[in-house]
Amino acid sequence: MTHTLMKLPFDEGALEPYISKETVQYHHGKHHAGYVNKLNTLIRGTVYEPMGLVEIIQKAEAGIFNNASQVYNHDFYFTGLSSKPSAPLGILLERIERDFCSLDQFKDTFLQAAANLFGSGWVWLSVDKEGKLVIDTLSNANSPLLLERTPLLVCDVWEHAYYIDYRNVRADYLEKYWDLVNWDFVSHNLTNYVKGKYIEFPCDEYSGACEFSEDK
Ligand code: MN
């Protein structure tokens, strides 16, 4: 199969002034697209060619793994951003308070982890095997899917995510990133997990509607 670059769920300039249109154009149009193209080139004629993205991530190594995982990670990152204000509510807020004491502590822990990640990588909020919310800092293209996690949210801390807007000041990017988190998407992912609904790749089926609002 041929993998395709996801369509952004917002206009390229929608995240301004926090994340500029130029950053989005480079990040999505060059970096993200580059991983998709490279993946398609690398899998041609291999056992990975007929596989979906998640299966490739679970089975491949080296360049094929790296590019497949970067496609997945970027799909997750961009789906998890929105200029529309939202907040963790309902069961998401309850679980955050249960596992991190408070929303403030969760924010501090998540952003500190992102600030302290050495080099390039990703910070994930996931559900672990015991149902606990956990934060993982993963270098390069590493994936929570290989840690038996159900991913809920990711922040990209590769320099290309913020260098145009914030130069080397990652901490400033992280503070602004926090204001752009699409908590409806995070809630949607947790709802599926709580309902026992296994969604292989939530970005593909997330419609932008918060299931919690419908449930209540
Ligand atoms: Mn990136």
pLDDT tens for 145-179 read 999 999 999 999 999 999 999 999 999 999 999 99
Using the mean position of ligand 1's atoms as its centre, give its distance from the Cα of residue 92 in Å.
26
Using the mean position of ligand 1's atoms as its centre, give its distance from the Cα of residue 98 in Å.
31
Using the mean position of ligand 1's atoms as its centre, give its distance from the Cα of residue 87 in Å.
24
User: Would the pLDDT of 127 be above 90?
Assistant: yes
DSSP symbol at 59: H
Q: Which CATH superfamily is domain 90-215 in?
A: Iron/manganese superoxide dismutase, C-terminal domain (3.55.40.20)
Using the mean position of ligand 1's atoms as its centre, give its distance from the Cα of residue 95 in Å.
28
Query: Residue 16: helix, strand or coil by DSSP?
Result: coil
User: Would the pLDDT of 208 be above 70?
Assistant: no
Quick one: pLDDT band at residue 83, thresholds 50, 70, 90?
very high
Using the mean position of ligand 1's atoms as its centre, give its distance from the Cα of residue 2 in Å.
21
How high does pLDDT run on average in the chain?
94
Using the mean position of ligand 1's atoms as its centre, give its distance from the Cα of residue 161 in Å.
5
Using the mean position of ligand 1's atoms as its centre, give its distance from the Cα of residue 167 in Å.
15
Nearest to 108 by CA among 174, 52, 57, 44: 174
Using the mean position of ligand 1's atoms as its centre, give its distance from the Cα of residue 132 in Å.
27
Query: Residue 82: helix, strand or coil by DSSP?
Result: coil
Using the mean position of ligand 1's atoms as its centre, give its distance from the Cα of residue 183 in Å.
20
User: Would the pLDDT of 215 be above 50?
Assistant: no
Own/partner pairs for 171-178, CB < 8 Å, 24+ apart? 171/111, 171/115, 174/111, 174/114, 174/115, 175/111, 176/18, 176/19, 177/18, 177/19, 177/81, 178/107, 178/111
> Which pLDDT value is given to residue 198?
86
> Which pLDDT value is given to residue 193?
96
> Which pLDDT value is given to residue 161?
97
List the chain domain ranges: 21-79, 90-215
Bridge-partner residues for 81, per DSSP? 181
Q: How far is CA 157 from CA 5, 23, 74, 115, 117, in A?
A: 20, 13, 11, 8, 8
Using the mean position of ligand 1's atoms as its centre, give its distance from the Cα of residue 72 in Å.
11
User: Would the pLDDT of 49 be above 60?
Assistant: yes
21-79 is a CATH 1.10.287.990 domain: yes
